[in-house]
């Protein structure tokens, strides 16, 4: 079973897509805002990255990072993870959402890696998506982060930000991904994944974007920008 995040059906959108010069300006602003951007998931090998990304579906990276040290200490390889089994993996990850299903998937994909790939992580999206619990977004993250391929993983943060800013609007994750693949210049494609996730996670938030502190405020096409909050009045003594 796949465990990819659900796609919002009606994200707030810019009135149009950015032009190519506007795309460059917007991404340049984000690059300066996040110069050292990288995944916030903790991992040491392509296998531990794959497992961490599978666990992160519908869960925060912080919650995953709290359970993976013990998990990877017990099972750093597909062989060890398969030997650990569903129940023991489940005990180690039970504080994250959907942990029972994720435990089964992690063990199952480990067995698939051993049976079909000699215990190695495949380097293609098609092969990765055949693994238990691995959908398109997870496959793209592994290809991008572990193997330096210019993929554009679209999670809920990227989906929201691309629609809201005008970087690449679309009603589905795959539609947004296809737009971003043709609109983002190839030299910026791999790093832009991290810029977009971090910007969406910490600045362009779902309920209310914090536009007043956005480095790309001027290049973003979203018309309903959130103004700087007024300071709360302080009470003075009588």
Q: Give all domains of the chain, ordered by start, each with its CATH number.
A: 20-35+151-213 (1.10.1670.10), 46-147 (1.10.340.30)
pLDDT tens sequence across 68-100? 999 999 999 999 999 999 999 999 999 999 999
Report the 3 state secondary structure along 5-62: CCCCCCCCCCCCCCCHHHHHHHHHHHHHHCCCCCCCCCCCCHHHHHHHHHHHCCCCHH
**Whole-angstrom distance, CA of residue 189 vs CA of residue 39:** 15
Q: Is the separation of the CB atoms in 148 and 190 below 8 Å?
A: yes
The one catalytic residue among 29, 155, 179, 191:
155
Could you tell me the pLDDT band of residue 12, with boundaries at 50, 70 and 90? confident
Asked if 155 is an active-site residue, the reply is yes
145 phi and psi, to 5 degrees? -80, -45
Burial 35-47 (b: 16+ CB within 10 A, else e): eebebbbebeebb
Mean pLDDT of 102-115: 98
Asked if 137 is an active-site residue, the reply is yes
The one catalytic residue among 137, 178, 179, 224:
137
Please tell me the pTM assigned to this model.
Answer: 0.88
pLDDT of residue 104: 98
What is the overall mean pLDDT for the chain? 93
Residue position matching structure tokens 């959908």: 135
**Whole-angstrom distance, CA of residue 72 vs CA of residue 49:** 10
Give the SS3 label for residue 98.
coil
**Tokens (6 digits) for 18:** 């950015």
């Amino acid at each position: 079973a796949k465990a990819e995040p659900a796609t919002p059906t009606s994200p707030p959108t810019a009135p149009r897509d950015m032009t190519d010069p506007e795309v460059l300006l917007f991404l340049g602003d984000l690059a300066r805002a996040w110069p050292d951007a990288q995944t916030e998931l903790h991992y040491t090998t392509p296998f531990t990255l794959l497992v961490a990304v599978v666990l992160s579906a519908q869960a925060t990276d912080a919650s995953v990072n709290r359970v993976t040290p013990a998990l990877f200490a017990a099972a750093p390889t597909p062989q060890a993870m398969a030997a650990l089994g569903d129940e023991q993996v489940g005990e180690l990850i039970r504080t994250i959402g959907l942990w029972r299903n994720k435990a089964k998937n992690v063990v199952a994909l480990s067995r698939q890696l051993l049976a079909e790939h000699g215990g190695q992580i495949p380097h293609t999206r098609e092969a990765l998506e055949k693994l238990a619990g691995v959908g398109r977004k997870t496959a793209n993250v592994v290809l991008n982060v572990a193997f330096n391929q210019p993929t554009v993983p679209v999670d809920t943060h990227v989906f929201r930000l691309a629609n809201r800013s005008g970087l690449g609007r679309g009603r589905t994750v795959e539609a947004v991904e296809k737009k971003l693949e043709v609109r983002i210049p190839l030299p910026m494609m791999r790093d832009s994944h991290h810029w977009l996730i971090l910007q969406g996670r910490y600045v362009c938030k779902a309920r209310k974007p914090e536009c007043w502190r956005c480095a790309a405020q001027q290049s973003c096409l979203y018309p309903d920008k959130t103004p700087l909050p007024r300071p709360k009045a302080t009470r003075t003594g009588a």
